[in-house]
Structure 1
Amino acid sequence: MAKAYWVAAYRSVSDPDALAAYAKLSGPAIIAGGGRILVRGVPAVTYEAGLEQRTVVIEFDSVEHAQQVHDSPAYQEAMALLGTGAERDIRIVEGV
């Protein structure tokens, strides 16, 4: 079974306090669900469109596992704290 990667790109953060509250719950929820946070931060270097967006990459054992963690009550509680404090794009992609 191929691993899966949850990729989040933050277009903007309008409420840093909401993001901090989200982070306090989301990290532990993801790790408890078996996710491994590989990348978290702004790009060191950008190419092509050159977007300097905060990016997070989390590895999971499968797409289904990543979906289960995203949809879990613990992660959804973190999402409720974030609310509209950030505009972001989350994708779950299968590894090769």
Structure 2
Amino acid sequence: MAKAYWVSAYRKINKPDQVAEYSKLATVAIKEGGGRPLARGVASMAHGAGIAERTVLIEFDSLDQALATFNGDKYQEALRVLGDACERDFRVVEGLE
């Protein structure tokens, strides 16, 4: 079974304190959902339309696990806290087998 990844590329952070609160809640939801952070921080390099802003990569054992965590109550609460605090590109990508 292929692993799956959450990829979050932040384009602009408008309310850093709110993003920090979201991050606390999201970290708990992700851990409980079986997710493992692989990378987190400001991009070392950006190319093309990329922006050197915060990027987060989370690994899950399967696409089902990644989607269940995203749709779970705890992560949805974290998203409510995040609200309009930032502009980000969020994707769930299935890995190669």
Q: 1:33 to 1:50 in 2, by over 3 A?
A: closer
- Residue 64 (structure 1) shift: 1.3
Partner of 1:88: 88
Unaligned runs of 5+ in 2: none
Answer with 42-51 or 14-23: which moved more.
42-51
Secondary structure, aligned partner of 2:2: coil
CA distance in 2, matches of 1:13, 1:82: 11
Partner of 1:22: 22
Partner of 1:62: 62
Secondary structure, aligned partner of 1:25: helix
Partner of 1:35: 35
Q: 1:48 to 1:15 in 2, by over 3 A?
A: same
Unaligned runs of 5+ in 1: none
Q: TM-score, normalised by structure 1?
A: 0.93
Runs of 4 or more above 4 Å deviation: none
Secondary structure, aligned partner of 2:51: coil
CA distance in 1, matches of 2:72, 2:3: 19
The two structures, once aligned, show a CA RMSD in angstroms of 1.1
Deviations 1:40-88 (A, max 9, x none): 1111233344521211000001111101000100001111111100111
Q: Matched residues, percent identical?
A: 52
Size of the aligned set, in residue pairs, is 96
Q: TM-score, normalised by structure 2?
A: 0.92
